[in-house]
Each structure stands twice: as structure tokens, then as C-alpha cells.
Amino acid sequence: MDQERWRKVQGLLHAALGLEAEARHEFLSVACGGDIDLQLQVELLLAKEEEAGCFLETPAARYPTVTPTITVPLLGRQFGPYRIVCPLGSGGMGVRRVTNYTTNAVPSYVFNLGFRHVKVA
């Protein structure tokens, strides 16, 4: 569909949305001037609009898949060779913490920066 055609469809769609549902078909018959393809495209979009409804009416918090974040104190806990030293930051994809990494009795600090780890010996 070219831009000019899309502008026509869009204009007719917005005009039809301003009317009562019963008056839309008659309006489109006149406004499309016999262009059946144009009328069908607009009617399809109107049907999809009605099908979608108002999906934002129900808050997401009402759905059982949304759960509150569980916070567990991790400061000082040991995970394999890593010991949590202190928080570094949070947001986006999670929480970042400074960890102490010990292997063969050589301590080093690992800064967990999301997907990248920076090791300081």
C-alpha cells in the first residue's frame, strides 16, 4: 500500500471511529465512492479496533503472573567462590553487587556490571 492510499484509509478510519457503530457502514459506502477495496480495508481495521477493546482497563497487578519482588539479604553470603561484599546499583535488568572472589587463597574483587564482569586483583 502506498502512502497516499494509507492516508485515505487512516482518514476514513478516524472519521468512522467518531461515528456510532450502526452509522459506519453507510458512511464508508458513501465516503469510499464505490472503491470496495478501500471500504474493506477500513472495515477490517474497524473490526480489529472493536476486537482489541480497551486492553488497559484491567491493571496488570491483577494477573497472577505478576509477583512482587522478593528481597533476601545477601550481604556477606557465599555463593561458590563468590562472597557478596556490598551493593553496587540496581535498575533495568536487576541488581548489581560487588563480590569477593577467592581461588587458591588469592582474593580479588569482581564488579558485576550486568552482562560484563570486571575483575580487580
Number of domains in the chain: 2
My answer on whether 8 and 48 are in the same domain is yes
In a domain, 14, yes or no: yes
My answer on whether 46 and 87 are in the same domain is no
In this predicted model, what pLDDT tens digit does every residue of 27-66 receive, in sequence order? 999 999 889 999 999 999 998 887 776 666 666 666 555 4
On the CB side of 79, how many CA atoms lie within 13 Å of its CA?
8
My answer on whether 48 and 82 are in the same domain is no
In a domain, 70, yes or no: no
Which residue would you say has higher pLDDT here, 83 or 10? 10
| Average pLDDT, integer, range 100-111 | 60
Distance between CA atoms of 69 and 74, rounded to whole angstroms?
A: 14
Q: What are phi and psi of 34, to 5 degrees?
A: 90, -5
In a domain, 57, yes or no: no
Looking at residue 2, its pLDDT comes to 87
In a domain, 88, yes or no: yes
In a domain, 46, yes or no: yes
> What is the chain's mean pLDDT, rounded?
75
Domain span at 106: 78-120
In a domain, 59, yes or no: no
In a domain, 116, yes or no: yes
Looking at residue 66, its pLDDT comes to 46
In a domain, 58, yes or no: no
Please say if the pLDDT value at position 81 is more than 50.
Answer: yes
